[in-house]
Amino acid sequence: MNQVLVIGGGPAGLTAAKSLVDRGAEVVLVEKKESLGGNARELTCKGIVECRNCGVCFAIDRANEVLKEPSAEVLLLSEVASAEKSEHGYSVKIKSSPRYVTDDCNGCGKCVAVCPVDGKAIFPPTGSGQPRIHWIDRSKCLHFKKGKCEKCAQVCPTKAVDYEDRAKNVTRNVSAIVYATGIDPVDACEISRLGCGTLKDVISSVDAERILNENGKLLRPSDGKAPKRIAVVQCVGSRSVKLGVEYCSKFCCKYATKISQMLLDTDPEINLDFYFMDLRTLYEPQDEFKLWAKSKKTVKLLRTMPAAVNLGKDGKLALRAASETDLDITEQEYDLIILSVGMKPAGASTELAKSLGIQTSQMGFAPGSMELESRGVYVVGAVTEPMDIEETAVRAIAAASRMHRGASQ
Ligand SMILES: Cc1cc2nc3c(=O)[nH]c(=O)nc-3n(C[C@H](O)[C@H](O)[C@H](O)COP(=O)(O)OP(=O)(O)OC[C@H]3O[C@@H](n4cnc5c(N)ncnc54)[C@H](O)[C@@H]3O)c2cc1C
Ligand code: SF4
Ligand code: SF4
Ligand code: SF4
């Protein structure tokens, strides 16, 4: 194996990159965002009392390992402009946008504090994204818009702000390509009857993960108070013909059960109702969560799907659902409602994917194939089908192993 290109710096791309480096390959990892970690950057570790095997730390650990690897070139804020078949693999043109902050940044955040722009023009990396180097959004920055401001450069203790940074075009010749462009969470507000976007205290699981990751606790967005009655609603935007997401997203039962447990760990007094169709905790024994719920006096599992959420009396959220026997319509009041969203594949049908010969399934995923791998293109991670971080990692290692075997034959 010579050089391998990895497209996507999420759990799949990172695991493949690490596994390839361990097998003696040189890796060029191209990530379009400012930091590594993919969707896991905004997810919270769910193990407050004990590890709950959510897998989130795994992704961030891999990011740090890859960043330390001398045989891995990591190109952030970068995209592949073209990949042309050559005699021994692919000739790849990569375009990197400027970050305007050098590797000397120590993440102190002094620049953000002084930036006068409403909503800021200089940012830390998203969530737990790695490396912890800040970046400037040129479209918002007054230095570029008006040629005036240099406040961030003036306070920076390491002289890391570099307004002269420019876009770079590089070409790499690689023997194979790992395609790991991942997923986009479904927008919970597409299901307006559940109150997303209109009722402040109805939040998506993406919001819940992000808030918990940033603050360690989940407070009501409307008034900052600790919620005492919480509903968790499963299958929002998954298994829905209307939204074109007809499949089970497979990981939302896993993370939602763990978030529920985490919330009870932080406050054992919370009343939590868990609404679901099927409890598809595929990655671990289903009974584990059911037994846990049974052991908690304040937790109820309700096998029914809510029909609507409205604003009830006293500003509480009123959730209407058929009873479990379908005989009555019930209305329950909550302080906070979490909508557990599923996912759609990302990057499966782009021009780049097409140019590499990647084909999509009826559901829009890019499953990859033996034929594609024989041409040096390995599709890995959740862009192939819904999967959690652990499964993503296992499959990425398997793909790296196939690539290594193929190269040594
Ligand atoms: C709300 C929520 C909670 C979750 N909680 C858990 C959990 O607790 N445990 C768990 O195991 N799983 C959880 N998951 C699932 C987990 O996020 C996925 O399994 C995992 O992120 C899949 O990894 P991936 O690398 O395939 O994709 P992604 O994480 O999506 O990474 C893909 C990367 O590729 C980059 N990219 C895309 N296109 C390009 C391009 N053209 N060029 C360069 N880069 C590109 C993206 O910017 C991204 O960094 C959760 C998902 C959601 C939505
Ligand atoms: S002030 Fe400088 S070192 Fe501190 S976060 Fe900003 S750019 Fe980085
Ligand atoms: S130059 Fe000024 S506007 Fe631009 S990021 Fe720095 S502080 Fe913000
Ligand atoms: S994993 Fe659970 S919540 Fe997600 S789509 Fe499947 S059944 Fe619904």
Which ligand number lies closest to the CA of residue 106? 2
Say what the pLDDT of residue 153 is. 98
Task: Give percent of the chain with pLDDT exceeding 70.
Answer: 99
- Of 166, 12, 14, 7, the closest CA to residue 82 belongs to 7
- Give the chain's largest Cα–Cα span: 70
Pocket of ligand 1 (CB under 6 A): 7-13, 30-33, 38-40, 43, 54-56, 79, 180-183, 185, 205-206, 209, 251, 254-255, 258, 343, 346-347, 381-383, 387-390, 392
Confidence category of residue 279, pLDDT binned at 50, 70, 90: confident
**CB-based contact 12:382 (threshold 8 Å):** yes
Question: CATH number of the domain at 3-97+167-182+346-408, out of 1.10.3720.10, 3.10.290.10, 3.50.50.60, 3.30.420.130?
Answer: 3.50.50.60
Note the pLDDT of residue 360: 97
Q: Name residue 384's amino acid.
A: T
As a whole number, mean pLDDT of residues 358-372 equals 95
Q: Where do we find the tokens 């997303």?
A: 196
Task: Please tell me the residue having the least CA distance from ligand 4 atom 4.
Answer: 252
Q: Where are the domains of the chain?
A: 3-97+167-182+346-408, 187-343
Q: Which residues contact 285 (CB under 8 A, 6 or more apart)?
A: none
Ligand 3: atom nearest CA of 142 is 3
Band of pLDDT at residue 280, cut at 50, 70 and 90: confident
Q: How far is the CA of 164 from the centre of ligand 1 (A)?
A: 32
Whether residue 127 is predicted with pLDDT greater than 70 in this model: the reply is yes
Q: Which of 39, 378, 283 is nearest to 182 (CA)?
A: 39
Lookup result for tokens 């590089």: 170
Q: Is 115 in the pocket of ligand 2 (CB under 6 A)?
A: no
Which DSSP category does 217 fall into?
A: S
Please tell me if the CB atom of residue 110 comes closer than 6 angstroms to any atom of ligand 2. Answer: yes
CA of 133 to the centre of ligand 2 (A): 8
Least Cα distance to 39 among 22, 59, 21, 25 occurs for 59
Above 90 in pLDDT, residue 115?
A: yes
| pLDDT tens per residue, range 205-214 | 999 999 999 9
Residue 167 Cα to ligand 3 midpoint, Å, equals: 19
CB–CB of 161/153 below 8 Å?
A: yes
Domain 187-343 fold is FAD/NAD(P)-binding domain (3.50.50)
Percent of all residues in the chain with a pLDDT value above 90, rounded to a whole number? 86
d(CA 344, ligand 4 centre) in Å = 13
Mean local confidence (pLDDT), 278-289: 79
Residue 117 or residue 237, greater confidence: 117
- What confidence score (pLDDT) does residue 242 get? 79
Task: Name the burial class of residue 171, with classes exposed (0-12), middle (13-18) and buried (19+) by CB atoms within 10 angstroms of its CB.
Answer: exposed
Residue 14 clears pLDDT 80, i.e. is over it: yes
Q: Note the Cα 247 to chain centre separation in Å.
A: 19
* Distance between CA atoms of residues 330 and 33, nearest Å: 44
Half-sphere exposure at residue 304, Cβ-oriented, CA atoms within 13 angstroms: 21
pLDDT digits over 33-82, tens only?
999 999 999 999 999 888 999 999 999 999 999 999 999 999 999 999 99
Taking all residues of the chain, what is their mean pLDDT, rounded to a whole number?
A: 94
∠386-29-144 over CA atoms, to 5°?
105
* pLDDT tens column, 246-260: 999 999 999 999 999
Q: 165 near 99, Cβ under 8 Å?
A: yes
Ligand 4, CB cutoff 6 Å, lining residues: 234-235, 238-239, 248-250, 252-253, 277-278, 280, 340, 342
Common-topology check for domains 3-97+167-182+346-408 and 187-343: yes
Sort 191 into a burial class: Cβ within 10 Å, 0-12 / 13-18 / 19+. Answer: buried
